[in-house]
Amino acid sequence: MPTSPAPNGAAVVVRGLVKRYGGRAVVDGLDLEARAGAVTAVLGPNGAGKTTTVECCEGLRTPDDGTVQVLGMDPVADARALRPRVGVMLQDGGLPTGARAGEMLRHVAAMYASPRDLGELSARLGLGAFAGTTVRRLSGGQRQRLALAAAVVGRPEVVFLDEPSAGMDPQSRLAVWDLVRELRDEGVAVVLTTHLMDEAEDLADHVHVVDHGRVIASGTVRELLDVDAGEAERTVRLDAAPGLDLEAMASALGRGGPDGWVVTEPEPGSYVASGPADARAVAGLTAWLADSGVLASRLTVGRRTLEDVFLDLTGRHLR
Amino acid sequence: MTPTPSAAAPSAAPAARRVLAQTSFETRAILRNGEQLLVTLVLPVLLLLGLVQTSLIELDTAGASRVDFVTPGVLALACLSTAFTSQAIATAFDRRNGVLRLLATTPLGRSGLLAGKVLGVLAVEVVQVLVIGAVALGLGWRPDVAGVPAAVGAGLLGTAAFTALALLLAGTLRAEGVLAVANLVLVLLVVGGGLLVPPDQLPGPLAHLAAFLPSGALGEALRGALLGTGVPALSVVVLLGWTAAFGWGATRLFRWH
C-alpha cells in the first residue's frame, strides 16, 4: 500500500465504486478525484449516492466493488493511520444530544495531539454564544456549525463535509463558506456533498455531478457551465401560468422560427429557455405573452447555471 | 500495516488519553441524565430501604440479618441497571444520532469507543457501590470482608455479560425498541430474575430457571461472597456462558448504521 498521495496530487481517488444495499446499487461505478488545496463538490439530488460515497471514503462503509484511496491509503484497512488526518462532518451531525456544545468540541479535540485553538475556532464559527447549551436545544444551523468545528479541530489534511449548509441561516452559511475557503488555502483537500447549486458554484473548484450512483459530469464550474463558449448561449427563465405552448414560445423568442431556442417546463409554470438571448428575443417573448393574455410573474435573463447543466444532463429538476 | 505519517501530518493523542477522555465523557453523560440516575441510583436505594425497613416481601434470610441478605442483591440490581439498561439505551440513541459513527472517524476509533463505554460503566458502578454501600452500612450492613475480592470478581463478570447484552440490543434494534425492551427486561429481572429474591425462593418454574439467568447467577454470586457462604460454581459458569454468548452475538450482529 503506497503511503503518499497519488502522483497527480489527488488526495482522494475513487475508482469504479459500487455499493449495494439489499441488492440495489446505490453507488454504481462511480469515479471521483479530489485534490489537496481545492474544494471538490459532489453535487446531486437526494438519493443520488453522495452520502454513501463519502461514507466509503471515511471508512464507515466497505465498498462492494472498486477502490477508494485517501492520502494513498485504504480507508478501511488503514483506518488507524488515516483517522488523525481526516476530518468528518456527517449529514446527521453525530452529536450526542445530552452533551453541551463546548464540552462536545473539547471532547473531540482531546483525541488529537495538537488540535486547533478552541477559542479561535469557536469565535470563527460563533460557537461561544451556545457553548453551554446542550446539543438537544441547538438550532439546525448551530448544530451544523458545531459539527463543522468538530470536523476541523484536529487540523486534518482531508475534510469530508456531508451537506454542510443544510438547515443553516444565511449568516451561518457565510461563516462556514469562509472557513472552507480558508482550509483550501491552507492546502486541505475539502470534499463536500450538496444539492445546492449556489453552494457548488460559489465554493467549489471542481464539481462532480452525481445521479443514480454515477458521475454524469465533472469539471471546474467554468467548464461545466461552458462559460468559455461565449455569450451566445444564454438562458431566459419565465414563471407564468402552467401549460403554455413550448413550441410557440420558442418561435416567439426566435422572432418567427425556433432559431436555436429550446424551451422546457421543468416544473409546472416554470419555464427555462436556452438560446441566443438578446433584446429582440425578449421583446418577442413579451409580445407573445401579451397576445396570449398571460402575465409573467418573473422573467430573468442570465447565463446558464449548474441547474441548467443538470437539467440538460438528466432532465430532472435538482432542487 | 500502519504507514508512518510524515512529521507534518496531524497526529492522534496517545491511546490512553483518548480512552480516558471517552470514559469521562460517557460517565458524565450517565450521571447528568435524570432518567438514567433514576434507574441507576434512586431505584436501587429505594429498593434497599423498602426491603430492609419493611417486610412487604417475605425473605428467608437463613439466619442472616435482613440488610446483610438484601444488600448484595441490590448491588446486583445496580450492576444490571448500569451495565445493561442504561448502557443499552444510551448506545442505541447514540447509534441512531450518528454519534457512534462520528466518534469512530476520530482517532478514538471503534475499539477506543468500546473501551470508553466499558470503563464508563465501571466508573458509574463505583459511584453506585459507594452510595448503596453507605446507605446499607447506615442500616447496619456487616458484609464478610474476606468475600469482597470474590464479589468484585463476580461484579466484573456480571458487568461483562450485561454490557455485551446491552450492545447486542443497541446494535440491532431501533432506539425506541431498545428503550422499551431494556426497561421491560429490568423490571422482569427485578421481579423474577433472582436478583433480590434468591432463585430458590421464587414461585414455580422460576425457582429452577432463575439460577441460570445472568441476573440470578450474579445475585447468588454476590450473596455467596458477601454473606461468607462462598460463590457457587454454577453462578460463575452461568455468567461466563452468557458473557460468551452475548459477546459473540454483539460482535457478529452489531450494526453501526
Query: Which set of grid coordinates corresponds to residue A97?
Result: 444530544
By C-alpha distance, the chain A residue nearest B95 is: A94
User: Where do the structural domains in chain A lie, given as residue ranges?
Assistant: 10-225, 232-302
3-state secondary structure of B43: helix
Our CA angle for B105, B109, B112, nearest 5°, is 150
Which residue would you say has higher pLDDT here, A197 or A210?
Answer: A210
Task: Give the pLDDT score at B81.
Answer: 95
Classify residue B108 by burial, with Cβ atoms within 10 Å: 0-12, 13-18, 19+. buried
Taking an 8 Å cut-off on Cβ atoms, the answer to whether B106 and A155 are in contact is no
Count the Cβ atoms, other than its own, within 10 Å of residue B112.
23
Beta bridge partners of A298: A239
β-bridge mates for residue A70, sequence order: A12, A73
Q: DSSP letter string over B196-249?
A: SS-GGGSSTTHHHHGGGSHHHHHHHHHHHHHHTS---HHHHHHHHHHHHHHHHH
Q: Residue B216 pLDDT > 70, yes or no? A: yes
For chain A, positions 218-237, list CB contacts with chain B under 8 A: none
Size of interface A-B (CB pairs under 8 A): 110
Residues 6 or more apart whose Cβ sits within 8 Å of residue B73: B195, B196, B197, B198, B219, B222, B223
Q: Does B34 touch chain A (CB under 8 A)?
A: no
Counted residue by residue, chain A has a size of 319
Contact assignment for B97 to A96 by CB distance below 8 Å: yes
Look at strands A189-194 and A38-43 and give their pairing.
parallel
pLDDT at position A111: 96
A150/B contact by beta carbon, under 8 A: yes
Cα atoms in the Cβ-side hemisphere of radius 13 Å centred on A22: 0
Alpha-carbon gap, residue A211 to A45, rounded angstroms: 7
- Note the pLDDT tens digit of each residue in A124-164: 999 999 999 999 999 988 999 999 999 999 999 999 999 99
Percent helix, strand and coil across chain B, each rounded to 5? 75, 0, 25
A14-38 tens-digit pLDDT: 999 999 998 899 999 999 999 999 9
| DSSP class per residue in A139-164 | -HHHHHHHHHHHHHTT--SEEEEEST
Residue B140 grid coordinates: 447496619
Cell of B101: 459513527
The single residue listed with the C-alpha cell 429582440 is: A280
Above 50 in pLDDT, residue A5? no
CB B77 within 8 A of CB B232: no
Domain A10-225, CATH among 3.30.300.30, 3.40.50.300, 1.10.10.10, 2.40.160.20: 3.40.50.300
A54: how many CB neighbours lie within 10 A of its CB? 26
Chain B nearest-CA distance from A180, in A, is: 18
Closest residue on chain A to B4 (Cα): A81
The answer to whether the CB atoms of A83 and B12 lie below 8 A apart is yes
| Residue A206: strand pairing partners | A40
Pairwise CB contact (< 8 Å): B13 & A88: no
Measured between CB atoms, which of B1, B97, B102 is closest to A88? B102
Tens-digit pLDDT profile for residues B109-160: 988 999 999 999 999 999 999 999 999 999 999 999 999 999 999 999 999 9
B175 in contact with A, Cβ within 8 Å: no
- Gyration radius of chain A's alpha carbons: 23
- Interface check B174 vs A, CB under 8 A: no
Is B2 a residue whose pLDDT tops 60? Answer: no
Grid coordinates given for A237: 427563465
Q: What is the C-alpha separation between A4 and B5, in angstroms, rounded?
A: 9
Distance from CA of B98 to the nearest CA of A (A): 4
Question: How many other C-beta atoms lie within 10 A of the C-beta of residue A21?
Answer: 12
Question: For the domain bounded by A232-302, which CATH number is listed?
Answer: 3.30.70.930
Whether residue A148 contacts residue A180, with contact meaning beta carbons closer than 8 Å, is answered with no
Which chain B residues contact residue A140 at CB under 8 A?
Answer: none
Mutation pick from B106, B108, B255 vs chain A, by most beta carbons of A within 10 Å, is B106
What interhelical angle do B148-170 and B109-138 show, nearest 10?
A: 130
Residue B142, classed as helix, strand or coil, is coil
**How many whole angstroms separate alpha carbon A88 and alpha carbon A164?**
11
Interface ipTM: 0.85
Phi, psi (rounded to 5 degrees) for B108: -60, -45
Residues 78-97 of B with CB under 8 A from A: 93-94, 97
- Contact yes or no for A112 and B11 at CB 8 A: yes
Q: Are A196 and A165 in contact (CB under 8 A)?
A: yes
Chain A CA closest to residue B113:
A111
Please give the pLDDT value at position A291.
92
Q: Looking at the partner chain, which of A83, A98, A99 has a beta carbon nearest the beta carbon of B105?
A: A83
* A-proximal residues of B, 99-128, CB under 8 Å: 99, 101-109
